[in-house]
């Protein structure tokens, strides 16, 4: 019998990732110390991670709550039924989400992630569908999402092989704080400079770069052959079915004390923004699946045998069995609630 309290949430340590395009936001948030001279700026903060041992520093540690000091993988392995409930681990036995913050002081590479067909044929690659929630964006900031519908695969590949720019072949979109952008696997995309986002994705670190802004960095190779097997073109991208929703204008359910806005619903996760209009309490609802709260502002205190507190830019993970825990929210508290699908949903008409 395990000795940890699976009914309580845990607070997770963030994992700092240096990136060529990273900025200073995380130091301003006091999540990490500023990098030493000569070190890469921190571009990513991995909030919830359970990747294989082959990925360096790829598994979250518990910072507070039952199981402090254990990895997320160890904690779930101790009592998988209590943690996962009706949800499923990946085929590799890992937690089925990777949650991050990204701080782009410069453009990220133009890239694509494997779809199911490519991942099935290449065991070293893993499907990656992701969504960005824009936390901050400089005026006029843009992303690139998808290839213009009239562009053929041959035209796109010819440009790539010739080393010519492909930016005019991509769909450029201006974004602002509060936007939520879905990026299914197979969709070519890039995050532009001056944007900070929360990224919710399937647990994969497989990225195929097609253009890297001429950085000519030998540690950041291009993957043209792999990318061309994954990139979708024309109507197969279904861009018309991927509207960008903004938290300020999307339909919401509001009571006197709480506002809940649905931002994204994919086959892999659902993202909602929760805002406390007053100091209030909120009963934790899991529907027998683990739930992630990505706190963006204010503070959350969860009662229970092992009380846990989270403030802005911290992350709570609730096991499936924590249904009925009560969270105290300070006025103005906002967080992203990320939930997993029920495997039975596919059988319900």
Check whether residue 100 and residue 234 sit in a common domain.
yes
Residues 112-131 pLDDT 10s: 998 878 888 887 778 889 99
Q: Which residue has the tokens 């709570």?
A: 316
Band (pLDDT 50/70/90 cuts) for residue 6 is low
Q: Which residue has the tokens 């009963």?
A: 283
Residues 172-204 pLDDT 10s: 999 999 999 999 999 999 999 999 999 999 998
Q: What is the pLDDT of residue 241?
A: 92
CA angle 302, 308, 312 (to 5 degrees): 90
Q: What is the pLDDT of residue 348?
A: 42
Residues 221-265 pLDDT 10s: 999 999 999 999 999 999 999 999 999 999 999 999 999 999 999
Check whether residue 315 and residue 176 sit in a common domain.
no
Strands (E), 157-237: 170-174, 179-183, 189-191, 195-201, 208-211
Task: Sort residue 67 into left (φ over 0), alpha (ψ -120 to 50) or beta.
Answer: left
Check whether residue 102 and residue 199 sit in a common domain.
yes
Q: What is the pLDDT of residue 344?
A: 66
The residue-averaged pLDDT of 210-229 equals 91
Contact 47, 294 (CB under 8 A): yes
Q: What is the pLDDT of residue 120?
A: 82
Q: What is the pLDDT of residue 121?
A: 86
**Residue 142 pLDDT > 90:** yes
| Residue 271's CATH number | 2.60.120.10
**Residue 5 pLDDT > 60:** no
Catalytically active residues are 209
Check whether residue 235 and residue 164 sit in a common domain.
yes
CA–CA distances in Å: residue 197 to residues 91, 127, 143, 176: 28, 21, 12, 10
Q: What is the pLDDT of residue 347?
A: 43
CA–CA distances in Å: residue 297 to residues 11, 12, 135, 178, 315: 16, 17, 11, 14, 11
Q: What is the pLDDT of residue 108?
A: 96
Rounded CA-CA distance 282/276 in Å is 9
**Residue 62 pLDDT > 90:** yes
**Nearest partner of 2 among 70, 69, 74, 78, judged by Cα:** 78
**Nearest partner of 197 among 150, 130, 274, judged by Cα:** 130
Rounded CA-CA distance 306/184 in Å is 37
Does 313 map to a domain?
yes
**Residue 1 pLDDT > 60:** no
Cα 256 to chain center, whole Å? 30
**Nearest partner of 204 among 267, 124, 144, 271, judged by Cα:** 124
The residue-averaged pLDDT of 207-231 equals 92
The residue-averaged pLDDT of 135-142 equals 98
Mean of pLDDT over the chain? 92
Check whether residue 173 and residue 209 sit in a common domain.
yes
Residue 277: Cβ within 10 Å count: 15
Does 2 map to a domain?
no
Cβ burial 114-148 (10 Å sphere, 16+ → b, else e): bbeebbeeeeebbbbbbbbbbbebeeebbbbbbbe
**Residue 29 pLDDT > 70:** yes
Check whether residue 117 and residue 201 sit in a common domain.
yes
DSSP state of 71: B
Could you tell me the residue range of the domain that residue 316 belongs to?
246-347
**Which residues, at least 6 apart from 123, have a Cβ–Cβ distance to it below 8 Å?**
none
Does 204 map to a domain?
yes
Check whether residue 189 and residue 266 sit in a common domain.
no
Does 1 map to a domain?
no
Q: Which residue has the tokens 């596919």?
A: 346
3-state helix, strand, coil split of the chain in percent (to 5) is 15, 35, 50
Rounded CA-CA distance 192/110 in Å is 10
- Count up the domains in the chain and report the number: 2
pTM: 0.94
Q: What is the pLDDT of residue 286?
A: 94
Instruction: Report the share of the chain in percent with pLDDT over 90.
Output: 81
**Nearest partner of 29 among 294, 280, 271, judged by Cα:** 294
The residue from 217, 242, 267 where one domain ends is: 242
Q: Which residue has the higher pLDDT, 330 or 304?
A: 330
Residues 151-172 pLDDT 10s: 999 999 999 988 888 999 999 9
């Amino acid at each position: 019998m395990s000795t940890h309290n699976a009914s309580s949430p845990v607070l997770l340590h963030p994992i700092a990732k240096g990136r060529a395009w990273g900025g200073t936001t995380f130091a301003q948030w006091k999540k990490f110390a500023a990098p030493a001279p000569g070190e890469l700026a921190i571009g990513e903060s991995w909030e919830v991670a359970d990747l294989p041992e082959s990925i360096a520093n790829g598994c979250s540690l518990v910072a507070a709550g039952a199981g402090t000091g254990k990895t997320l993988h160890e904690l779930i392995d101790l009592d998988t039924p209590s943690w996962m409930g009706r949800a499923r681990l990946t085929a590799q036995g890992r937690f089925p989400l990777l949650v991050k913050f990204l701080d782009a002081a410069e453009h990220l590479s133009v890239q694509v992630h494997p779809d199911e067909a490519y991942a099935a044929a290449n065991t070293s690659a893993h499907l990656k569908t992701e969504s960005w929630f824009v936390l901050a964006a400089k005026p006029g900031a843009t992303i690139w999402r998808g290839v213009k519908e009239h562009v053929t695969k041959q035209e796109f590949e010819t440009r790539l092989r010739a080393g010519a720019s492909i930016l005019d072949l991509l769909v450029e979109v201006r974004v602002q704080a509060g936007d939520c952008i879905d990026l299914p696997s197979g969709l070519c995309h890039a995050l532009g400079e001056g944007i900070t986002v929360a990224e919710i994705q399937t647990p994969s670190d497989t990225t195929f770069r097609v253009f890297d802004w001429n950085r000519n960095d030998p540690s950041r190779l291009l993957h043209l052959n792999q990318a061309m097997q994954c990139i979708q073109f024309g109507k197969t991208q279904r861009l018309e079915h991927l509207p960008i929703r903004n938290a300020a204008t999307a339909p919401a359910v509001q009571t006197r004390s709480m506002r809940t806005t649905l931002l994204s619903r994919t086959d892999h996760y659902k993202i909602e923004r929760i805002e406390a209009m007053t100091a209030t309490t909120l009963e934790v609802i899991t529907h027998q699946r683990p739930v992630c709260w990505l706190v963006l502002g204010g503070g959350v205190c969860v009662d229970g045998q092992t009380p846990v507190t989270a403030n802005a830019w911290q992350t709570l993970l609730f096991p499936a069995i924590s249904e009925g825990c009560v969270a105290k929210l300070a006025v103005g508290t906002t967080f992203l609630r990320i939930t997993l699908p029920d495997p039975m949903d596919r059988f319900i008409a």
